[in-house]
Structure 1
Amino acid sequence: MEGKLLLRPLLSHPRLPVAGLVPSRRLRASRILLSDRRPRPKARQLGVSLRRRPSHQTETTPSRGGREWWAPTVVAGLVLHLALCSVAFLFPTYARACVGALPPPPAGAVEVEEEDDDEEWKVALQQWKSKTYSLSVPLRVVALRGSFPPAWIKDFVEAQGKRIKFSPEFRSSLDALFSEMSQCLEKGQLQPKSTMAADVVSIGDSWLGYAIRKGLLEPVKNAEEQDWFRSLSDRWKIHLCRNHNGDVDPNGSIWGVPYRWGTVVIAYKKNKFKRHNLKPIQDWEDLWRPELAGKISMVDSPREVIGAVLKYLGSTYNTNDMESEVNGGRETVLESLTQLQKQVQLFDNMNYLKSFGVGDVWVAVGWSSDVIPAAKRMSNVAVVVPKSGSSLWADLWAIPSATKFQTDRIGGRTRGPSPLIHQWFDFCLQSARSLPFRQDVIPGASPLFLENPVPEVPQERNKRKPKLDTNLVRGAPPLEILGKCEFLEPLSEKALDDYQWLISRMQRPHRGLFGNLLQNISSVLNFKSRA
């Protein structure tokens, strides 16, 4: 029927929230079509499009009266459609209920998506695992050059695996190590490459007390719970247990971990002694023989020089009161010290072995870590530990006190040393690490054998007999002499007064003998030792 407009509802569609109404009658001049338009799947929008569709057939133009009868109906349909859209926007829950729930995606698509996610996760995991820094743990060690064999570095890295970031550095002397840490503390500045920023550093045991008092070190936490601590003898534990003043204290903390030790020795030229019919040197008293006047060089250390005088007089290095513990008191010590000063041509820590090497002197007194390597390069040289005992020295691992610096330039080091420090200590104190010392590859001995006999070297590794003539047994003194040797302990106030009194009454030599120690005797006496 031409005069009526037929309206039919659109069927519900899963992706359409509401239904629309469209006129079903063709309009001759310009047909206006009100229709639903499918929204974009991702945007999920509701939309109504009003568009003009041109006629594909030639039709007569309707009369003015014909256009007027259907126009109100179209307008009413448009208003109704807009009202339904408004309801859908204002009440989405109700609209969804009318339309129905969306169908789930196909099962195959879900499985493919999960497989893609798993594959991406596996690729990302492999990339993360391939990065060497993802689980790496740093350990920075600044050590005295030549104090342990280079093979230790390779062996330790292999034992710990590729995740360790091991950074060993070396300094030429203990004095250089001590000076670098002192300068950082004085300036109050800490650089990432400075010695103070290291996890572990080398330090001589005779420097330990002074370094503690100056605040350069911090104690080794939980040392008593570690395997390396249990492997040490009581003599080590007593020597390394200090209070915050640096004095030996059974109630103190452990401040260092030994990795090698040695003694003060006397080297002499056998060919010179044989040519002049001189008896071999055996003990400290031989240094006072008149025929050796001007033929001796010695380290420039007040503890070692005055200690040798005390041993010559039958006392000990760690004498606390010379008046009561030495026959004749301080005057006797001063007299013997003056005589020794005349016997020694050169007191010097750097050049005493050079003078011995070129033949200016026939006898050299110094630390075995210096004397043994030099003596091996020479011929007709003998090295002995005095039979009445000598002083002991030790190289220790210690922890710099970097935690007291407020800086962000050294990362997590300000919170404490590397968690691998105890693994490094354990490694250095394994029995296998003693072999280079027993083979005389490195001068000194393993801390495991301070009070126990040093094991024999396997025959297949000891085919060549050592050329050096010495009473040292695989780097250590014989047990009967070792029992008379002693570590240098911090001086008591009374002992410090005695040292000051002796040095102030000595004639100032033109070469060596304590350098300028008279000006700073109170501080230097307690730590100036192996350089």
Structure 2
Amino acid sequence: MEGLGKMDRRSFILGMAALGTTLSGCSSDPSAFRVRLLKNSIPSQLPNEFRRQLKQDIKLDFKPANQLQDLFNDLQAWKQKPSRNQTSSPGLPFISQSSEPIPDLITMGDYWLSTAIRQNLIQPLDPKAWQLWAQLPDRWKKIVTRDNQVWGAPYRWGATVIAYRTDIFRDRNLQPPQDWADLWREDLRGRIALLDQPRETIGLTLKKLGQSYNTADLNKIPNLEPELVALNRQARAYSSSTALQSLILDDVWVAVTWSTDFLQAVNRNPTIAAIFPKSGSALFTDLWVRPAPVSSKAPIADWINFCWQPDIAPQLSLISQAASPMLSTLDANTFPEKLRQNPLLVPQPEVLARSEFLEPIPDATIEQYRSLWAKIRGSA
């Protein structure tokens, strides 16, 4: 399903309270617990708090990357590299024992999971070692389980949302958007930025029609093509990287974007707001996965459990601007007010229930998406 999902979730404004730099300079210590993660995806104070809770004295090496794509590229490169306990390969003289060891855990988006498994880039994890696995909601268990093996531990999630300019809607006395159907409103024609992603844009149209994002046969939805033609007329631009920026710069009034991008930008751009569509949306989740070549006694299970703890999950959600999957299992009345009142991090249960992860789809369906996308984008 390459080319059809979320290839890039960029932040225009980076939070200062999330981990954005290397925690410790201990890359030469073979016993260190090494984690490579998406920049700003965990609060900067959490690794030190984790170290305080451990019963053993261990050095931590947490290093961020700017993009999920960078981390996936690293996984592919590490597949060709000896693990930290191996010597350099005679067939690969450019790899030396002094090169940086492969980490114990790495962040990966759920979009890449099937590809990573197929290419043998990651290894299964053992959920029996996770005390809180039983509390993880079933839909997050399902997204990381293949053939009765668990390949990742979800620690944060986000959704596709509709952002809009509050000042423009107020000054023109326009009704703010509430659901996907509002993108077809005549008063918004030519004022909308859409994601340049077939599964996102065709998917939201399916949702508007009361269908699933994971519809297996697009040809069985007779109204889909005319609805997409109408939506294409509404759009001023398609972009997976600058839709939100176009909104901030007054190029459009409405932008379909990802909640993580929006929440990073809103603090410095108070004229923008966003809604979680009432009919449900597309979900994505970031996972802890274990690179295939790694074999170590690092406290992997301890770290995963730590991220899911009831007192840690709200902190992670509020500061990293992406919700922990454990939030829905906790009493929202115990959350900080800023978190409790954020509908993108704590959406209404019924809205979240109507939302879906973008699941792997058959090759025949991928071809339907590509053909329909090319036809719609090529139409006037």
* TM-score category, normalised to shorter length: 0.7 to 0.9
Asked whether 1:237 is paired with 2:128, we answer: no
Counterparts of 1:188-199 in structure 2 under 5 Å?
Answer: 197-199=102-104
Asked whether 1:390 is paired with 2:281, we answer: yes
Residue 284 of structure 1, CA deviation: 0.2
> In structure 2, the residue corresponding to 1:505 is in which secondary structure?
helix
Work out whether residues 233 and 451 of structure 1, in 8 Å CA contact, stay in contact via their aligned partners in 2: yes
Asked whether 1:151 is paired with 2:55, we answer: no
Residue 334 of structure 1, CA deviation: 2.4
What is residue 269 of structure 1 aligned with on the other side?
165
Write the letter of the residue equivalent to 1:231.
Q
Query: What whole-Å deviation, never above 9, does each CA across 1:103-136 have from its counterpart, x for those lacking one?
Result: xxxxxxxxxxxxxxxxxxxxxxxxxxxxx9xx98
Asked whether 1:366 is paired with 2:236, we answer: no
What is residue 303 of structure 2 aligned with on the other side?
424
Residue 282 of structure 1, CA deviation: 0.2
Query: What whole-Å deviation, never above 9, does each CA across 1:264-291 have from its counterpart, x for those lacking one?
Result: 1111111101222211100001111122
Unaligned runs of 5+ in 1: 1-131, 244-251, 403-412, 511-531
Q: Distance in 2 between the 1:212 and 1:334 partners? A: 34
> In structure 2, the residue corresponding to 1:315 is in which secondary structure?
coil
Q: Distance in 1 between the 2:191 and 2:180 partners? A: 15
Counterpart among 308, 312, 328 of residue 433 in structure 1: 312
Cα separation, partners in 2 of 1:470 and 1:364, compared to 1, 3 Å: farther
Residue 225 of structure 1, CA deviation: 4.3
What is residue 355 of structure 2 aligned with on the other side?
485
Counterpart among 299, 303, 319 of residue 199 in structure 2: 303
Work out whether residues 180 and 195 of structure 1, in 8 Å CA contact, stay in contact via their aligned partners in 2: no
Residue 358 of structure 1, CA deviation: 1.2
Query: What whole-Å deviation, never above 9, does each CA across 1:66-121 have from its counterpart, x for those lacking one?
Result: xxxxxxxxxxxxxxxxxxxxxxxxxxxxxxxxxxxxxxxxxxxxxxxxxxxxxxxx
Q: Distance in 1 between the 2:232 and 2:224 partners? A: 12
Which protein has the larger Cα radius of gyration, Structure 1 or Structure 2?
1
Q: Distance in 1 between the 2:64 and 2:285 partners? A: 17
Work out whether residues 193 and 238 of structure 2, in 8 Å CA contact, stay in contact via their aligned partners in 1: yes
Q: Distance in 1 between the 2:343 and 2:323 partners? A: 14
Q: Distance in 1 between the 2:289 and 2:346 partners? A: 23
Query: What whole-Å deviation, never above 9, does each CA across 1:396-446 have from its counterpart, x for those lacking one?
Result: 1001112xxxxxxxxxx4xx14431111111111111123256x3221222
Counterpart among 67, 70, 73 of residue 176 in structure 1: 70
Residue 500 of structure 1, CA deviation: 2.6
Asked whether 1:401 is paired with 2:297, we answer: no
Query: What whole-Å deviation, never above 9, does each CA across 1:28-48 have from its counterpart, x for those lacking one?
Result: xxxxxxxxxxxxxxxxxxxxx
Write the letter of the residue equivalent to 2:249.
V
What is residue 215 of structure 2 aligned with on the other side?
319
Cα separation, partners in 2 of 1:193 and 1:182, compared to 1, 3 Å: farther
Asked whether 1:350 is paired with 2:229, we answer: no
Q: Distance in 1 between the 2:78 and 2:379 partners? A: 34
Counterparts of 1:125-164 in structure 2 under 5 Å?
Answer: 137-160=31-54, 163-164=57-58
More displaced, 273-282 or 441-450? Answer: 441-450
What is residue 476 of structure 1 aligned with on the other side?
346
Write the letter of the residue equivalent to 1:198.
P
Query: What whole-Å deviation, never above 9, does each CA across 1:147-203 have from its counterpart, x for those lacking one?
Result: 110011110122226721211000011111112223444799667798982110001
Cα separation, partners in 2 of 1:493 and 1:339, compared to 1, 3 Å: same
Residue 257 of structure 1, CA deviation: 0.2
Residue 350 of structure 1, CA deviation: 2.1
Counterpart among 283, 294, 298 of residue 179 in structure 2: 283
Counterparts of 1:2-41 in structure 2 under 5 Å?
Answer: none
What is residue 223 of structure 1 aligned with on the other side?
127
Work out whether residues 184 and 196 of structure 1, in 8 Å CA contact, stay in contact via their aligned partners in 2: no
Write the letter of the residue equivalent to 1:311.
K
Cα separation, partners in 2 of 1:187 and 1:399, compared to 1, 3 Å: closer
Cα separation, partners in 2 of 1:384 and 1:497, compared to 1, 3 Å: same
> In structure 1, the residue corresponding to 2:332 is in which secondary structure?
coil
Cα separation, partners in 2 of 1:504 and 1:387, compared to 1, 3 Å: same
What is residue 5 of structure 2 aligned with on the other side?
none
Unaligned runs of 5+ in 2: 1-25, 83-91
Work out whether residues 78 and 102 of structure 2, in 8 Å CA contact, stay in contact via their aligned partners in 1: no
Write the letter of the residue equivalent to 2:376.
M
> In structure 1, the residue corresponding to 2:42 is in which secondary structure?
coil
> In structure 1, the residue corresponding to 2:252 is in which secondary structure?
coil
Q: Distance in 1 between the 2:197 and 2:98 partners? A: 31
> In structure 2, the residue corresponding to 1:261 is in which secondary structure?
strand
What is residue 442 of structure 1 aligned with on the other side?
320
Q: Distance in 2 between the 1:154 and 1:395 partners? A: 21
Identity %: 34
> In structure 2, the residue corresponding to 1:203 is in which secondary structure?
strand
Work out whether residues 256 and 397 of structure 1, in 8 Å CA contact, stay in contact via their aligned partners in 2: yes
> In structure 2, the residue corresponding to 1:506 is in which secondary structure?
helix
Cα separation, partners in 2 of 1:346 and 1:180, compared to 1, 3 Å: farther
Write the letter of the residue equivalent to 2:362.
S
Q: Distance in 1 between the 2:102 and 2:129 partners? A: 25
Q: Distance in 1 between the 2:359 and 2:304 partners? A: 23
What is residue 338 of structure 1 aligned with on the other side?
229
Write the letter of the residue equivalent to 2:162.
I
Cα separation, partners in 2 of 1:421 and 1:186, compared to 1, 3 Å: closer
What is residue 54 of structure 1 aligned with on the other side?
none
> In structure 1, the residue corresponding to 2:371 is in which secondary structure?
helix
CA RMSD of aligned residues (A): 2.9
More displaced, 268-277 or 297-306? Answer: 297-306
Counterparts of 1:500-511 in structure 2 under 5 Å?
Answer: 500-508=370-378
